Structure 1
Amino acid sequence: MEQLKVNGKHSAVSRELLAHAARTAVSHSRSVAKANATGMAYIIQKHN
């Protein structure tokens, strides 16, 4: 019984960590995309 409780708690923690990792990855890819767009705009401006 005790083992089951520990497993349940662990899987909840794992789910939380996975959700956090997913959110971090999404926000990271967004900021990278924004940085790329800014860099491209800067390069284009510089060329003109």
Structure 2
Amino acid sequence: MAQQDELEHRTTTTEKGRFCMATCTCGWHGPARRARSQARTDAEKHKTP
């Protein structure tokens, strides 16, 4: 079951200009951030239950 959840929540970061945003295959997206590290943190928080 844990493997299935991980497959459903595959996150990536996308850059647009000076901003970076985390997105997930489930449709979730985080706020636009100037720091890539913060966008990655948003993605990790989303993946944890």
TM-score by structure 1 length?
Answer: 0.30
Higher percent of residues as strand: 2
Higher percent of residues as helix: 1
Between the two structures, name the one with larger relative contact order (CA 8 Å, sep ≥ 6).
2
